[in-house]
Every structure is written in C-alpha cells, then in structure tokens.
Amino acid sequence: MVYTLTFSPSIDYVMEIKHLTPGEMNRAQATHIYPGGKGINVSAVLHSMGVENTILGFIAGFTGNEIENILKKHGHHTDFIRLKSGLSRINVKVLASESTELNAPAPAIRKDDLKQLNDRLQALKDGDVLVMSGSVPSGLPDYTYRIILDSLKDRNITTIVDTTGPLLLSALESHPFLIKPNREELGELFSTKNIGTGDAEKYAHTLQDKGARNVLISLDREGAMLLCEDGTLLTREAPRGNVVNPVGAGDAMVAGFIYGWLETGSYDDALKTAVCAGSASAFSSGLPSKDDIMSLRRLMKD
C-alpha cells in the first residue's frame, strides 16, 4: 500500500484570468475547485495511474468535510484525523501570464492529534510506501518528519520526503529513500541563485552525504536528474510541449517515480516516468491522467 501524508490539506480555488491587474476588478474566464495539498496531489496522480493508495492528514471544520467529500466522490481512500477546532485552508491560485498563489494559514495540530497519526503510521507494514509532502503548521517543530522516519526505521518501508528548508535537512538525518528538491528549493537550502545542472549535481551529492539515499532534482524544462544510492547519476530531458500550469508538476513527478519504481524496480524507468508525469502535469490545466503521462512516456527514447 502507498500512503501519502499531508499535514495541511486545503481546498484549492483556481481562477484562470487572461491578464491580472492588481488594484482593479479582474474577471476569471474559468474556475476550478480541487482538494489541495502536495500529498493529495501525489495520491490523485497515483489513483489515475491505477496505484491503490491511502490519503493521510488532518482536516477541520466544514472545509475539511468538503475536502473529504470531494476525494471520496472521486474514489479516493482517506484516513484523515479530524481536528477539534479550526478550519482547513482555502487557497486561491490565479493562473494568468504568471501564476500567483494566496495560501491561508493551517489550523493548529495538538499532541493528541499527533498521537492519532502515530497510531495510523504504526499500522504500516513491510513493503509499504510513505510519502510525506509539503510543510507542517507553524506550531510543529522542524524535526517533525525526522520523528516519523525514526518511528518507522525498524520496518522495510520506502519513505519519500518532498519538502524543503530545515524540515528537509532534519529529515536527512534519518535516511529517507528519496527526496525531490527543485531548483528554487536548492537555492533556499544553499543560499544561492541561478542553479545550473552542474550546480544541481554538486548539491545532490551534498544532500546524499547528509543522509538522503536517492536524490531526485526537478529541473523544469530541462527535465530531471537522479543521484542513486550507488552513486550513479541519471538524467532525462523533459518532453517538449506548451506549459499551461506548472502548479502540481513536482507532485506528479513524485507519483510518476513511485509508479515506475513499483512497476520495474529500475531507477532509470522510475526517472523516465517521473519526468513524463511532471511534464504532462505542466502541459495541462489540472493534474494529468495516466493516458497523458504514458503518451509522453512512449515518445521518450530508452
């Protein structure tokens, strides 16, 4: 079983606008409502590819109810922890010539809520996959993911961490199977800008030295590179296409990697599917279907 964990799920209200003019009335040409959160995005793409998975996380209030209702309506299996107070977030994403996001604060998570999460995680079995994506609410420590990883270390669980900053650096100490930073996140980690492929490779080795077993770095239009735990460096260019919406492409890439890895156990196949999944997501207004991903995968040279 694949499990995804999103600490702060949201309702994402996406508005498509031809030209966004701050300070004036802007009318959207189209709107979409999705359950949001990086782990939820990973689950949605996995679901479309036929990979059974369970969505974990924390929800609160009427917005939390709607998140769960939408997911169940689309056939997803959820095992949320319901918070006693607060509201799950509503985030607004404006798609114009550039993407603009307005993210609300997350509801507070207390110790008894974390105990419920721990109880769920202790039910994971050897061979399961756990994906931990995104940030944690401000009241939780930067070592939150490391605590979870340490609690699972006595089992053969494939752990994937997709976050950044101190939360990621702390998690490295517990040797996650895979991490997936992008250029911007590398820049934040290493206080630099204009990261080229040579820089990305150097930073991948640094992150591996700090504890990551495998490092997948998304490089936007240039595709991605994967530094494997045996030291092999794999690279794949992205398929060509018209970028419509880059939001969620990194999450689709994680899902594509999981699909490829579970299907073949090959790092190269996992990387190819990851790149195609990320590209398919960027080329569409929402998250990609299996057909979107595999049509690009068939075009990619072996």
Annotated catalytic sites, by residue?
A: 251
CA trace torsion 277, 281, 286, 292 (10° rounding): -60
Side-chain-side CA neighbours of 133 within 13 Å: the count stands at: 27
> Using H for helix, E for strand and C for coil, what is the string for 26-47?
CCCCEEEEEEECHHHHHHHHHH
Outline where DSSP puts E strands in the chain.
2-6, 10-16, 30-36, 53-59, 77-82, 89-95, 99-102, 129-133, 158-162, 178-179, 214-218, 224-227, 233-236
Side-chain-side CA neighbours of 24 within 13 Å: the count stands at: 7
